């Protein structure tokens, strides 16, 4: 690679691992000082990350000297201290800084998670942080064009040099597909973090409407899990299974890939949140990879990029979701068409080869 990866947050997240796995050991300076979920591991985010980064500063400076011929440094989200550190020493070493703007701090903390009140002093500080990390790097990488357009409008700023780079997914080597259960029920599967933006209440409402002929597997954990678990118990919903977090480790027989491969239909996200409109959920890409039909909300991203690759529905509409599940379950030709289109879209936008090629071309031209 014609660049150097420089990150101290967490390179094991779905997005960040895309970059990490491309680079040889000599071409990356990476330490995990944050948890994969930054908001659920606040001790690491607020204490461990800044303290250890400060302790490591002299070593990092020596590392800059060692890599003085590097022309491009890539910093991964959130990368707050990495950007500041590299910016301080940029005049001395004459490198360019590229930042993967995976999302917006304001969009996540204020609009999506609602951890900070809109128009509060803290919300204004967060927006200032977004503006700072839009401005400081020389180049920006965005996962989607929709995210880029949103940030440029929100911050009223433009970036001269940027790249749209969708994330990729790969199947682990030696993955074995286990025989699915002999149940005659239609198996519908959701996996991911249990957050409000995923529209899990809509899925629960749909499960109630469809009844016992349909088995819903809702896999994952998160801040919204207790709410969903309470609904299932209090409303005595017998066709919803909540196994919690399930690993992708293929050494475990019942890993996440087993659940996905044994599904008839996979689910994306169903809320109308701003963030949901700007991204393609990782679970949708993983369903594409495994050749499974996906039902998800008709977001701006879906409409602009891959409308024929999914069965799209209106947001937060359980009745429409139920109709879509019934239709896909019965119409094999429709299911086949959706899967074929999703395979084409995946191969042109979500492979490791595509990701690497786009990144190499970006740095060779800029």
Per-residue pLDDT tens, the chain, 366 aa: give them: 679 999 998 888 899 999 999 999 999 999 888 766 555 556 556 688 888 889 999 999 999 999 999 999 999 999 999 999 999 999 999 999 999 999 999 998 888 778 889 889 999 999 999 999 999 999 999 999 999 999 999 999 999 999 999 999 999 888 876 666 667 899 999 999 998 878 999 999 999 999 999 999 999 998 899 999 999 999 999 999 999 999 998 888 889 999 999 999 999 999 888 999 999 999 999 999 999 999 999 999 999 999 999 999 999 999 999 999 999 999 999 999 999 999 999 999 999 999 999 999 999 887
Quick check: do 4-168+351-365 and 186-349 share a fold?
yes
Rounded to whole angstroms, how far apart are CA atoms 309 and 293?
8
128's tokens: 């200032």
Contacts of 299 by beta carbon, 8 Å cutoff, 6+ apart: 276, 277, 278, 315
CATH topology of domain 4-168+351-365: Rossmann fold (3.40.50)
**Contact in structure between 77 and 107 (CB atoms under 8 Å):** no
The CATH classification number of 186-349 equals 3.40.50.2000
- Long-range contacts of the stretch 346-350 (C-beta < 8 A, 24+): 346/285, 346/288, 346/289, 346/309, 349/166, 349/305, 350/166, 350/167, 350/168, 350/169, 350/285, 350/288, 350/289
Domain boundaries, the chain: 4-168+351-365, 186-349
167's tokens: 């994330």
* Biggest alpha carbon–alpha carbon distance for the chain: 67
345's tokens: 């879209």
Residue 42 CB: number of other CB atoms within 10 A? 12
Rounded to whole angstroms, how far apart are CA atoms 47 and 235?
41
Give the predicted TM-score (pTM) of the model.
0.90
Element (H, E) at 139: strand 139-142
Element (H, E) at 215: strand 214-219
Element (H, E) at 201: helix 200-210
């Amino acid at each position: 690679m014609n660049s150097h990866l420089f990150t101290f947050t967490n390179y094991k997240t779905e997005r960040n691992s895309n970059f990490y796995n491309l680079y040889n050991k000599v071409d990356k300076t990476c330490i995990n000082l944050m948890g994969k979920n930054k908001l659920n591991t606040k001790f690491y985010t607020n204490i461990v990350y800044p303290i250890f980064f400060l302790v490591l500063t002299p070593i990092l400076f020596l590392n800059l000297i060692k890599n003085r011929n590097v022309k491009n440094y890539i910093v991964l989200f959130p990368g707050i201290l990495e950007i500041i550190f590299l910016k301080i020493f940029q005049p001395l070493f004459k490198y360019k800084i590229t930042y993967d703007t995976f999302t917006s701090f304001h969009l996540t903390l204020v609009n999506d998670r609602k951890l900070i009140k809109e128009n509060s002093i803290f919300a204004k500080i967060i927006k200032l942080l977004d503006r700072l990390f839009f401005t400081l790097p020389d180049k920006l990488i965005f996962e989607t064009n929709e995210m880029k357009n949103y940030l440029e409008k929100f911050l009223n700023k433009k970036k001269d040099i940027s790249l749209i780079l969708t994330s990729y997914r790969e199947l682990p080597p030696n993955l074995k597909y286990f025989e699915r259960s002999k149940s005659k029920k239609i198996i519908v599967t959701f996996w991911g973090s249990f957050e409000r933006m995923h529209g899990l209440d809509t899925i629960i409402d749909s499960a109630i409407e469809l009844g016992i002929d349909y088995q819903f597997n809702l896999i994952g954990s998160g801040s919204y899990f207790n709410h969903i678990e309470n609904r299932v118990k209090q409303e005595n919903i017998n066709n919803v299974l909540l196994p919690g977090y399930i690993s992708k480790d293929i050494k475990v027989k019942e890993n996440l890939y087993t659940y996905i491969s044994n599904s008839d239909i996979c689910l994306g996200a169903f809320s109308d949140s701003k963030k949901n409109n700007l991204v393609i959920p990782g679970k949708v890409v993983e369903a594409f990879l495994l050749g499974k039909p996906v039902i998800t909300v008709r977001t701006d991203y879906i409409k602009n990029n891959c409308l024929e690759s999914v069965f799209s529905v209106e947001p937060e509409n359980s009745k429409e979701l139920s109709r879509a599940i019934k239709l896909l379950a019965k119409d094999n030709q429709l299911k086949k068409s959706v899967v074929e289109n999703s395979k084409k879209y995946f191969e042109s936008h979500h492979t490791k080869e595509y990701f690497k090629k786009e990144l190499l071309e970006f740095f060779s031209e800029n």
